[in-house]
C-alpha cells in the first residue's frame, strides 16, 4: 500500500502513527486485529520494520551489527543472529564482505539496502517505509524499486510506503491512498483505477493530464484480448486471403507457418493464381512480447510501416496489437497490476 | 631579580635529580593527582549539566554562560579568594581547577550529542530501542570522539593551571617553579617547567590513543 499526496497532507504522520512515533489522538490503528496502543511502544516497534529516507544507520556500528540491532534487542542468541544476518545479506543483495565495514564506507544505494535488511531483521509482518528511495539517484532508485517488488514477491509483508512520486506509487502499489493537505482522504484505489477513474477534480489534477500514458506503463500486451489481425496461414488460397484483407481493411497481410510468423506481404500483390509463398515478404520489424508494456508496444507501432505489432512469445505467434486495440484497452478495466507490493 | 646564569647557577644542575628526587617525585605525583581529580570532577559535573541541557533545551544558554563566566575568572584571583574561606587546603586548589574544565567539557559533550544525526535517532526509536538503550548504545558512542576531544583539551589545560595552584601550596611541579623563582635558583624552575610540559604532551598523546582505540569507525571514514 502506498501513501501519496502533496507536502503537508499527513502521509508521514500517518505512517509514524502506525508505530506510534506520533501518538494518535483519536481513532484506532489495528495490526492483525490488535490495537497498536495496547502494547508498550517499544515492543510494538520491534515488531514493525521501519525504513526512512535518510536510512539512519548507526555510524559507529558495522553493517553486521546494524542489521542485528532488533534481534539483539530481542535477546536472540549469537548463532541465530549470525544466521539471520547471512540470510538477509542474500535477500537484499549486499556483498558479504561489507558486513565488517562501517556505514560511511558504503554508497547511498548500498546503505539503503542495509536499511531494508535491518528493518526485516526480526521478520516483522509489517514494514513501514518513509520515502525510502528519495535520497538516491534516479537510476539506483529504479533498481531499488524493482528489487523491492522482487523482495515483496518472496517475503509477502504488509508494506506501507510513503512517497511523493506518483510514478513510484504506480509502479509498486497494490493500493494507493491519495491524501490531500490537512489529511483529507481523496481516493483509495488500485493504481489503474486511480488513473482510469479519478474520484474528483483534485485526484484528476494530481495524476495529471498524462494519466492515460501512465496507465500504458501499468498494463502489458498480454492483458489485451487476443486479436489475430490480418494474418493467415501461408497456404491460404489468395481469394480467401483477399477476403481477410477486405474484412480487416488492411493493406498488409501477415503470413504464418504453424506457430511461426513469417512476415508481411503487400495486400495489393495478393492475386488469384499466385501462391502466397511466392510473394515478397517483409520481415516483421515491429515485434513485442506478451510481457511488454502497452507504452512500449505503442512506441514500436509508431515506428513501424504496418501500424501493427506482432506479438512474439519466443518464436510463437500470439496475435497482433494495434493502436485501436490499445485505445480500446484503456477504456476497459486493466486492473491486472504488475507484481504485488506496498 | 638576577637573570644571569653562571657556573654557580646554571639552568639545570643534573645532580639536583639525585639529591632532590623525593621532592620531584612527590611533585609529579601531586601534579597528576590534581589534574586527574579536577578533570574527573569537572567531567561528572559537565555530564550532568549536558544531560540537563539536552533534557531542557532552554537551559543550554544559561549553563554555557555560567561556564564561560567561571572560565573568565583570573586563576590567581580565584585561588586567592578561596584561600580566605577555605585556607591552604586541597579543596582550595581543586575548586578553581575543576571550574575551569567545565566550559571546555560541557561544550564538547553537547557538541557530541548534537552530532548525532536526527535520522539515526529516528531509526533508533523506530526500531523500538528504549530511551536508555538509545542513549547508551547509540548517542553516547557517537558523541565519544567529541567527549574524548573535550577531555584532551581540558586535561592539557589543567596540567598548565596546576602550576598556578602552587600559590596556595598545592601546585605539584608548580611548587618547584615557584621555589626556583623565589630563590633565583634556576634548576628547580627548569625541571618544574619542562616536566609539566612533558606531562601535558603525555596526556595529550594518551587521550589521542584512547580516542583512536574507541572509535575505529571515525578513523575509517577518512579513507573510504
Q: What is the mean pLDDT of each run of 10 residues along chain A (342 residues)?
A: 85 89 85 84 91 91 94 92 91 88 90 91 91 84 86 87 89 90 87 86 83 79 81 86 85 84 84 82 79 83 77 80 81 53 37
C-alpha cell at B75: 586563576
CATH number, residue B133: 1.10.3720.10
- Chain B interface, mutation test: which of A19, A22, A54, A60, most B Cβ atoms within 10 Å? A60
Among A93-107, B38-52, B73-87, top mean pLDDT goes to B38-52
B21 lies in some domain: no
Rounded distance between C-alpha atoms, residue A190 and residue B188, angstroms = 87
Q: Does residue B26 fall inside a structural domain?
A: no
Neighbouring residues of B63: CB distance < 8 A, sequence distance ≥ 6: B49, B52, B53, B106
Q: Is the pLDDT score of B114 beyond 50?
A: yes
Smallest Cα distance from A85 to chain B, Å: 16
Q: What is the pTM of this model?
A: 0.74
* pLDDT in the model for residue B220: 56
Helix (H) or strand (E) holding B194: helix B186-214
Separation CA B69–CA B82 (nearest Å): 17
Is the CB of residue B222 less than 8 Å away from at least one CB of chain A? no
Average pLDDT, integer, range B142-151: 94
CB contacts of A69 in chain B (<8 Å) are: 127, 129
Residue A60: which of B125, B133, B217 has the nearest Cβ? B217
Backbone angles phi, psi at B100, to 5 degrees: -70, -25
- pLDDT score at A337: 42
Q: Is B123 in contact with A55 (Cβ distance < 8 A)?
A: yes
Instruction: Quote the radius of gyration of chain A (alpha carbons, Å).
Output: 26
Nearest Cα residue to A160 out of A20, A27, A50: A50
Over residues B7-26, the pLDDT tens digits come to 677 788 788 888 888 888 88
Residue burial A231-264, b: 16+ Cβ < 10 Å; e: rest? bbebebebeebbebbeebebebbbbbeeeebbbb
Cα–Cα distance, A196 to A211 (Å, whole number) = 8
Domain membership of residue B142 (yes or no) is: yes
Decide if B212 touches A, using CB distance below 8 A.
no
Measure Cα distances from A19 to A38, A114, A128 in Å.
Answer: 12, 20, 8
pLDDT of residue A129: 93
Query: Which domains does chain A show, CATH number per domain?
Result: 2-218 (3.40.50.300), 222-331 (3.10.580.10)
Is position B154 within any domain? yes
Q: What is the distance in angstroms between the Cα of A54 and the nearest Cα belonging to chain B?
A: 6
CA-CA distance, A338 to A170, in Å (whole number)?
10
Instruction: Find the domain containing B187 and state its range.
Output: 31-213
- Which residues of chain B make contact with A104, given a CB cutoff of 8 A? 217, 220-221, 224
Of residues B122, B133, B215, nearest to A73 (C-beta): B133
**Binary contact (A73, B123; C-beta < 8 A):** no
Residue A215 burial by CB count (10 A; 0-12/13-18/19+): exposed, middle or buried? buried
Res B223: pLDDT = 41
Q: How many CB atoms lie within 10 A of CB B195?
A: 18
Across the interface, whether the CB atoms of A57 and B220 are under 8 A apart is answered no
In a domain, B159, yes or no: yes
C-beta separation of A52 from B124 below 8 A: no
Closest to B163 in 3D by CA, of B204, B191, B184: B191
Contact A50 B126 (CB under 8 A): yes
Q: A105: distance to nearest CA of chain B, Å?
A: 5
Q: How many CB atoms lie within 10 A of CB A34?
A: 11
* pLDDT for the residue B6: 61
Q: Let me know: does A330 contact A216? Beta carbons within 8 Å.
A: yes
Q: How many CB atoms lie within 10 A of CB B197?
A: 13
How far apart CA B12 and CA B196 sit, in angstroms, is 15
Per CB-CB distance under 8 Å, the chain A contacts of B120 are 56-59
pLDDT of residue A333: 65
Give domain status of residue B91, yes or no.
yes
* pLDDT value, residue A290: 82
pLDDT score for B222 = 46
A45 touching B (Cβ < 8 Å): yes
Distance from CA of A152 to the nearest CA of B (A): 20
Report if residue B59 sits inside a domain.
yes
Q: Using N-to-C axis directions, what is the helix angle for B90-114 and B21-55, rounded to 10°? A: 40
* Measured distance CA(A82)–CA(A232) in Å, rounded: 62
Residues of chain A found within 8 Å of residue B143, distances taken between Cβ atoms? none
Burial class of residue A139 in the structure, from the number of CB atoms within 10 Å of its CB (0-12 exposed, 13-18 middle, 19+ buried): exposed
Tell whether A32 lies on the interface with B, counting CB pairs under 8 A: no
Q: Higher-confidence residue: B157 or A319?
A: B157
ipTM above 0.90, yes or no: no
Quick check: is B82 in a domain?
Answer: yes
Q: What pLDDT shows up at residue B219?
A: 65
Number of domains in chain B: 1
Residue B46 has a pLDDT of: 96
Amino acid at each position: 500500500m502506498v501513501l501519496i499526496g502533496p507536502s503537508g497532507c499527513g502521509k508521514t504522520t500517518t505512517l509514524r502513527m502506525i508505530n506510534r512515533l506520533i501518538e494518535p489522538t483519536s481513532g484506532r490503528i489495528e495490526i492483525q486485529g490488535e490495537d497498536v496502543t495496547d502494547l508498550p511502544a517499544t515492543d510494538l516497534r520491534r515488531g514493525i520494520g521501519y525504513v526512512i529516507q535518510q536510512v539512519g544507520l548507526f555510524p559507529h556500528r558495522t553493517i553486521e551489527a546494524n542489521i542485528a540491532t532488533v534481534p539483539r534487542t530481542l535477546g536472540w542468541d549469537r548463532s541465530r543472529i549470525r544466521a539471520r544476518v547471512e540470510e538477509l545479506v542474500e535477500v537484499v543483495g549486499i556483498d558479504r564482505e561489507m558486513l565488517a565495514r562501517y556505514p560511511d564506507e558504503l554508497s547511498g544505494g548500498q546503505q539503503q539496502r542495509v536499511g531494508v535488511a535491518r528493518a526485516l531483521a526480526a521478520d516483522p509482518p509489517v514494514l513501514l517505509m518513509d520515502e525510502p528511495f528519495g535520497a538516491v539517484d534516479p537510476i539506483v532508485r529504479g533498481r531499488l524499486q524493482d528489487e523491492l517488488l522482487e523482495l515483496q514477491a518472496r517475503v509477502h509483508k504488509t508494506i506501507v510506503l510513503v512517497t511523493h512520486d506518483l510514478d513510484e506509487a504506480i509502479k509498486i502499489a497494490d493500493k494507493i491512498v491519495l491524501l490531500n493537505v490537512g489529511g483529507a482522504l481523496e481516493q483509495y484505489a488500485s493504481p489503474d483505477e486511480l488513473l482510469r477513474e479519478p474520484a474528483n477534480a483534485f485526484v484528476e489534477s494530481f495524476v495529471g493530464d498524462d494519466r492515460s500514458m501512465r496507465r500504458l506503463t501499468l498494463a502489458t500486451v498480454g492483458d489485451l484480448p487476443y486479436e489475430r489481425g490480418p494474418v493467415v496461414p501461408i497456404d491460404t488460397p489468395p481469394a480467401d486471403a483477399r477476403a481477410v484483407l477486405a474484412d480487416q481493411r488492411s493493406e498488409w497481410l501477415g503470413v504464418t507457418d504453424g506457430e511461426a510468423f513469417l512476415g508481411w506481404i503487400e495486400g495489393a500483390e495478393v492475386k488469384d493464381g499466385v501462391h502466397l509463398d511466392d510473394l515478397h515478404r517483409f520481415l516483421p520489424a515491429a515485434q513485442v512480447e506478451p510481457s511488454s508494456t502497452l507504452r512500449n508496444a505503442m512506441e514500436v507501432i509508431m515506428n513501424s510501416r504496418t501500424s501493427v505489432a506482432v506479438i512474439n512469445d519466443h518464436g510463437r505467434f500470439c496475435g497482433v496489437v494495434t493502436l485501436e486495440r490499445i485505445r480500446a484497452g484503456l477504456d476497459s478495466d486493466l486492473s491486472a497490476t504488475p507484481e504485488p507490493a506496498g | 631579580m638576577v637573570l644571569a646564569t653562571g657556573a654557580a647557577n646554571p639552568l639545570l644542575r643534573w645532580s639536583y635529580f639525585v639529591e632532590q628526587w623525593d621532592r620531584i617525585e612527590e611533585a609529579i605525583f601531586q601534579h597528576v593527582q590534581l589534574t586527574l581529580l579536577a578533570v574527573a570532577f569537572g567531567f561528572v559535573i559537565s555530564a550532568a549539566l549536558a544531560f540537563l541541557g539536552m533534557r531542557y533545551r532552554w537551559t543550554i544558554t544559561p549553563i554555557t554562560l555560567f561556564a564561560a563566566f567561571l572560565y573568565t575568572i583570573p586563576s590567581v584571583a580565584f585561588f586567592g579568594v578561596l584561600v580566605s574561606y577555605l585556607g591552604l587546603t586541597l579543596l582550595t586548589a581543586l575548586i578553581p581547577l575543576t571550574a575551569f574544565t567545565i566550559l571546555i567539557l560541557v561544550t564538547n559533550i553537547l557538541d557530541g550529542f548534537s552530532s548525532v544525526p536526527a535520522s539515526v535517532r529516528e531509526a533508533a526509536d523506530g526500531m523500538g530501542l528504549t530511551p536508555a538503550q538509545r542513549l547508551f548504545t547509540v548517542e553516547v558512542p557517537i558523541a565519544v570522539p567529541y567527549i574524548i576531544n573535550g577531555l584532551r583539551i581540558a586535561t592539557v589545560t589543567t596540567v598548565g593551571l596546576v602550576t598556578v595552584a602552587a600559590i596556595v601550596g598545592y601546585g605539584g611541579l608548580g611548587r618547584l617553579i615557584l621555589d626556583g623563582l623565589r630563590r633565583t635558583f634556576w634548576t628547580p624552575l627548569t625541571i618544574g617547567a619542562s616536566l609539566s610540559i612533558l606531562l601535558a604532551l603525555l596526556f595529550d598523546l594518551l587521550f589521542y590513543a584512547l580516542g583512536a582505540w574507541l572509535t575505529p569507525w571515525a578513523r575509517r571514514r577518512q579513507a573510504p
